[in-house]
Structure 1
Amino acid sequence: MAGETRANVIPLHTNRGRVAARRRADQRAESARQHPSLLADPHGRASAEQIAAVVREIDEHRRAAAAGSAEAPLNELAQRVAAVAGFLRQRLTGDYTVDEFGFDPHFNAAIVRPLLRFFFRSWFRVEVSGVENLPSDGAALVVANHAGVLPFDGLMLSVAVHDEHPAQRDLRLLAADMVFDLPVVGEAARKAGHTMACTTDAHRLLAAGELTAVFPEGYKGLGKRFEDRYRLQRFGRGGFVTAALRTKAPIVPCSIIGSEEIYPMLTDVKLLARLFGLPYFPVTPLFPLAGPAGLVPLPSKWRIAFGEPIYTNDYSASDADDPMVTFELTDQVRETIQQTLYRLLAGRRNIFFG
């Protein structure tokens, strides 16, 4: 018709469009088969086959993880059995050494330290700082506060030095004479590398280049009442300073918090202490009322902080015999430990959680 414009008609190729659509559908199906989590159409719904494939894959991963976790205890058990077998072999063949103090490194590493690690890691959850202040080799004298009725602080200190220091050094504790008079305990203490707290033994250890620890408060610190917690007692006559000066060993102040709360000592029954030949007879909230259960330490949160070393190289040989020099150095160490204790306590929010 005149005046009308004819529209351009685009021809429809029906068969060709169906072939292309089929090809795209096949490609999507192939992609879905390659990994069930990849849907060809991100806005579409997954098919039942795809969902089942995803579930199967998840189950396979879960079974593999369960198998791995089941094998872990078996592997750990096998390692422990192998360690015990190795220990027995060495003990039977005599393939181990003991030094002049009775220190048996093999016994300490295989028996003593693994037992103490439970208390160190799981019970007291000890946090350690300042291990870089301990030398990697050579002599040093660690001086720490003492508390807790039973000397767990010395035991935890020895584990801290070995496990937290890169050199994994053995710490030699200077302990009270009574420890070595106790059956079994005294022999175990010797084998663990510890000896009596006297100037002579301290000098011998330091002269041999050993990392040594001393608790100058002695029984006064170990057996003080809970109301006096974290108040340092008198440091004695400074025998540890004399040993350090004579051997030119650095003195490392060490502050421990957490030990005062394991057995909160309410009072000391002096009559019973004299009767049993003990330095004190503690009464705590659980002991002796709870019997043997009262001997279980409370799980307080511990922190051990090693301070900067005090070097003794500039002191002369005669200074070791000068009471004024030893007193001044003893007081410096004591004040350093006390101030660090105050600082650590100020940052603690809870006795059991730190």
Structure 2
Amino acid sequence: MNDDRTTIGSGGTPGRGNRQTSPSTAARALAGGTAARKPAAKAKKAPASPATPTSPAAGAKKAAAPRKTTAGGKAAAGGRTAAKKTTAPPTGERPTKPRLRAVTDEDAAAAAAAAAEEAARRTRTAGAAPLSAGIPIDEIFVAVIEAAQRVLGSDWEARVATLLSTVRKRLGGSYEVDEFGFDPEIAQVLTAAIEPIAEKWFRLEVRGVENIPEDGGALLVANHSGTVPLDGLITGYAVKKYAGRNLRPLGADLVFALPVVGQVARKVGATLACQEDAERLLSGGELAGVWPEGFKGIGKPFAERYKLQRFGRGGFVSAAMRAQVPIVPVSIVGAEEIYPLVGNVPSLARLLGLPYLPITPFFPLLGPLGLVPLPSKWIIEFGEPVRTDAYEPQAADDPMLLFNVTDQVRETIQQTLYKLLVERGNAFF
């Protein structure tokens, strides 16, 4: 026994390990070291159970239990037993640790499910990921639809469908042209293409549509200007859009001599400005259009804008009299400002076979950008028809009569231009 006491108390501080106080450091080491000390610390904090009062004798027996062990096995077992007893919950209470573990597992499962759902959502929306500009695809689609509605109108879907149907028919070869090469489907496509330019860019205003005959032949006579003959295209668009009829322009020889341009002009209804073709169109009940000023009108300097040039020798009046159809004066305001002509290169124009080579404030200085027309305000007014059926067809051989009627039409257009210029005011506002 003396050896055992010496061994157990040899590592302790003097005054400890005397059977009445807690075991010494060596005893705690033999009882399990650190693992044994933790339950002991918890045991001190645990309150004593009121159902089992402690007695000095019981405390002495518990304190002496480790001291009776000579090796470390029984002491360690005793320490673990003491730890289990001190950490057990009071009698009548349910253990809490297993319940805490179950709740923790459920939370972890819920968190894992939420993470999996978020990953699946990101996978589903991977197609709508932002592009390089940071704009989702659905927003780009909405923007394209709004732009189509703004440019083509609310019925843009029907127009696109009509265009696709026309393309399919033409690829299949199921289309017809008349004896002059006019293709109504191509004319319809051209009208749809010009509409955004006329309505949005030029802010076109059309007046006097009621003066265009609903059926039968008529000759529309208009002023010519603009350096580039866009006024012919816009006039044709206005007739188709607001009167529901196709305009058959009478063009100069140069138009049909140009590659591609000549073929397209034939497809959209233009024909050569000669007496025979004009009479055939008018006698067939078509609306023919003529610009008697010719290249002298579209090629005049900007300083002479809206001053009409000569209307020729009255050939258009002769054709209308022979066909017994009315003449409708057409006044166009706005074309003079799209390409202000400030200069010309006649020597180079002759070399290229052109009537003139224009120089504008932006062309050729800005290159291709100078070809964009300026957004001037356009007004087209169809005047009251001049009747020719009051004359006999043979009256077309009277040069004096032709001159008087030609001058009447020219003066009507000139006075209307002055009136429209005052009403329009600034060309760009």
Given the two structures, how large is their TM-score scaled by the length of structure 1?
Answer: 0.77
Q: Would the alpha carbon gap of residues 318 and 84 (structure 1) be closer, same or farther in structure 2, given more than 3 Å must change?
A: closer
Aligned to 2:287: 211
The aligned length equals 283
State which of 331, 356, 360 in structure 2 corresponds to 1:280: 356
d(CA) in 1 for partners of 2:385, 2:328: 4
- Cα displacement (A) at 1:318: 2.0
State which of 214, 218, 229 in structure 2 corresponds to 1:136: 214
Matched, 1:100 2:176: no
d(CA) in 2 for partners of 1:267, 1:106: 39
| 1:43-69 superposed Cα distances (whole Å, 9 cap, x missing partner) | xxxxxxxxxxxxxxxxxxxxxxx9xx7
Aligned to 2:226: 148
Secondary structure of the equivalent of 1:233? Answer: coil
Q: Identical aligned pairs, as a percentage?
A: 58
| 1:239-292 superposed Cα distances (whole Å, 9 cap, x missing partner) | 000000000010000100000000000122211111111101111101111111
- Cα displacement (A) at 1:348: 2.0
Aligned to 1:35: none
Secondary structure of the equivalent of 1:344? Answer: helix
- Cα displacement (A) at 1:122: 1.0
Matched, 1:341 2:417: yes
d(CA) in 1 for partners of 2:145, 2:351: 52
d(CA) in 1 for partners of 2:217, 2:271: 16
Aligned to 1:164: 242
Aligned to 2:135: none
- Cα displacement (A) at 1:77: 7.0
d(CA) in 2 for partners of 1:200, 1:153: 24
Q: Would the alpha carbon gap of residues 317 and 77 (structure 1) be closer, same or farther in structure 2, given more than 3 Å must change?
A: closer
Secondary structure of the equivalent of 1:255? Answer: strand
d(CA) in 1 for partners of 2:346, 2:393: 43
Q: Which has the larger radius of gyration?
A: 2
Task: Kindly report which structure 2 residues correspond to 1:321-340, keeping only aligned pairs within 5 A, or say none.
Answer: 321-340=397-416
Matched, 1:252 2:331: no
Aligned to 1:298: 374
Task: Kindly report which structure 2 residues correspond to 1:1-354, keeping only aligned pairs within 5 A, or say none.
Answer: 79=158, 82-109=161-188, 111-165=189-243, 168-353=244-429
Q: Would the alpha carbon gap of residues 81 and 333 (structure 1) be closer, same or farther in structure 2, given more than 3 Å must change?
A: closer
d(CA) in 2 for partners of 1:286, 1:350: 20
Aligned to 1:14: none
d(CA) in 2 for partners of 1:118, 1:81: 14
Secondary structure of the equivalent of 1:347? Answer: helix
d(CA) in 2 for partners of 1:200, 1:246: 11
Q: Would the alpha carbon gap of residues 139 and 78 (structure 1) be closer, same or farther in structure 2, given more than 3 Å must change?
A: closer
d(CA) in 1 for partners of 2:394, 2:387: 16
Q: Would the alpha carbon gap of residues 100 and 283 (structure 1) be closer, same or farther in structure 2, given more than 3 Å must change?
A: same
Of the structure 1 ranges 149-158 and 179-188, higher mean CA displacement relative to structure 2 is found in 179-188
Structure 1, unmatched stretches of 5+, are 1-65
